Chain A
Amino acid sequence: NAGVMQNPRHLVRRRGQEARLRCSPMKGHSHVYWYRQLPEEGLKFMVYLQKENIIDESGMPKERFSAEFPKEGPSILRIQQVVRGDSAAYFCASSRTGRSTDTQYFGPGTRLTVL
């Protein structure tokens, strides 16, 4: 059973470009979470999605950031008009259920560098 897949692993963008980060959850998992980790800091929750629905986006910046988890295909975190402050590691996690006692399995992360 493959783990959580994220691609690309490394992404370089110039200021003003768009970044699209992809996350394929573990097989059988329909709950996806995105976290951001700035250099030398802890992980910060961004958004929680269940197939085709956004459950909690309280950690998402109000502008430029969006996330989706379509019925078919991976979850996408999109950052429009990137700025240098968006440079960070973005981690995706998945779980089988949405219960807080259910283990989250994390992907290897996408490291975004904005020039």
Chain B
Amino acid sequence: DAKTTQPNSMESNEEEPVHLPCNHSTISGTDYIHWYRQLPSQGPEYVIHGLTSNVNNRMASLAIAEDRKSSTLILHRATLRDAAVYYCILRDDWDNNDMRFGAGTRLTVKP
């Protein structure tokens, strides 16, 4: 799997937007960009994924650079419940579905 690089930690204020970056300079043409998050003492949960175009869902937006070497997960209005470790994972469309998690970004949301 291609490698991703994320900051170890980030802080945000409640109700402000959060931009979580992910670098993946060795991404291949068939790699999808997935984001999962893990709330304290819980299993990971799916956030969003995309291939080339920006994606929006009820949880977040995913902005993908034109060269696909980086992407940004955007939480439009952070809440205390968004405090979690966020994982950016590349998955090749032809690979098995098992995932390789990195260290992720620990997001702290301040009231």
Residues of A in contact with B (beta carbons under 8 Å apart): 4, 31, 33, 35, 41-45, 48, 55-56, 59, 91, 93, 95, 97-109
User: Whole-angstrom distance between the alpha carbons of A35 and B36 in the complex?
Assistant: 14
CB-defined contacts of B36 to chain A, threshold 8 Å: 104
Q: Other than A100-B32, A100-B91, give 7 A-B pairs with Cβ distance below 8 A.
A: A43-B101, A95-B97, A97-B97, A98-B97, A100-B94, A101-B32, A104-B46
Chain A residues positioned under 8 Å from B65 (CB to CB) = none
> What's the minimum C-beta distance from B93 to chain A, rounded to whole angstroms?
6
Count A-B pairs with CB separation below 8 Å: 67
> Which residues of B are interface residues toward A (Cβ below 8 A)?
32, 36, 38, 42-46, 49, 85, 87, 91-104
Whether A48 lies near B101 (C-beta < 8 A) is no
Knowing A44-B101, A101-B91, say if A55 contacts B43 (CB, 8 Å).
no
List 19 A–B pairs whose Cβ atoms lie within 8 Å, in order of A's numbering: A35-B101, A42-B87, A42-B104, A43-B44, A45-B100, A55-B96, A56-B96, A98-B97, A99-B97, A100-B91, A100-B97, A101-B49, A103-B49, A104-B44, A106-B43, A106-B44, A107-B43, A108-B42, A108-B43
Q: How far is the CB of A2 from chain B (nearest CB, A)?
A: 14
Q: Output the least CB separation between B52 and chain A (Å).
A: 13
Known: A100-B32, A100-B95. A42 touches B43 (CB 8 A): no
